[in-house]
Amino acid sequence: MKNIILIGLPSSGKTYLGKKLSEKLSFSFLDTDQLMIQKINKKNISVQTIQECYSLLGEKEFRELESNILSDLNSSNTVISAGGGIIHKKRNREILKKSGRILYLKTQLDILEERIKNQDPRPLFRNNIKEKLKELEVSRENLFIELADFIIDANKSEVEILTNILEKINQ
């Protein structure tokens, strides 16, 4: 089976649900954000978070490294959690489309805001969380929809979401 690629806004559940889904399918799991952190750390630069990577590299170099990581993925039977902004570059969208079935985890902003308040330490979300999320949604929503093979309602329980995903990918 081809890869399953999860896209969506921050805290939509790409990593969490991706790990759960990979267990259910007996697939490998990859997180492009984690791959980026590992790649930078191999250069003897210590970063812990994707935000540190972004601050260190700046937008242009960050997006280029993201593209390179995506190009280097030669996997199958893998669930991939794709970084939220990865879809901005046309090259990345083309690579993702060729790499597997894409599922957009569509989540209400109120739910994302609660998740971020409870667990997300990103500097981007220190203030005006809902406003920042709305900006991201406006800049990414059309690309998510255009790219997705399936749109998954990620406002439900974990069990319902995973069941929905499994139904979609087995169609």
pLDDT < 50: residue spans in the chain: none
Q: What is the pLDDT of residue 120?
A: 54
Q: What is the pLDDT of residue 1?
A: 60
Please answer whether residues 101 and 2 qualify as being in contact, where contact means their C-beta atoms are separated by less than 8 angstroms.
yes
**Residue ranges of domains in the chain, CATH in brackets:** 3-31+78-169 (3.40.50.300)
Q: What is the pLDDT of residue 45?
A: 82
Q: What is the pTM of this model?
A: 0.92
What are the pLDDT digits (tens) for 23-36?
999 999 999 999 99
Backbone torsion region of residue 49, taken as left when φ is above 0, otherwise alpha when ψ lies between -120 and 50, otherwise beta: beta
Q: What is the pLDDT of residue 124?
A: 61
Tokens of 87: 């879809």
Give the separation between CA 18 and CA 82, rounded to whole angstroms: 10
Give the separation between CA 165 and CA 142, rounded to whole angstroms: 21
Q: What is the pLDDT of residue 109?
A: 94
Give the separation between CA 71 and CA 118, rounded to whole angstroms: 34
- In SS3 terms, the chain reads as CCEEEEECCCCCCHHHHHHHHHHHHCCEEEEHHHHHHHHHHCCCCCCCCHHHHHHHHHHHHHHHHHHHHHHHCCCCCEEEECCHHHHHCHHHHHHHHHHEEEEEEECCHHHHHHHHHHHCCCHHHCCCHHHHHHHHHHHHHHHHHHHCCEEEECCCCHHHHHHHHHHHHCC
Q: What is the pLDDT of residue 116?
A: 85
Q: What is the pLDDT of residue 12?
A: 95
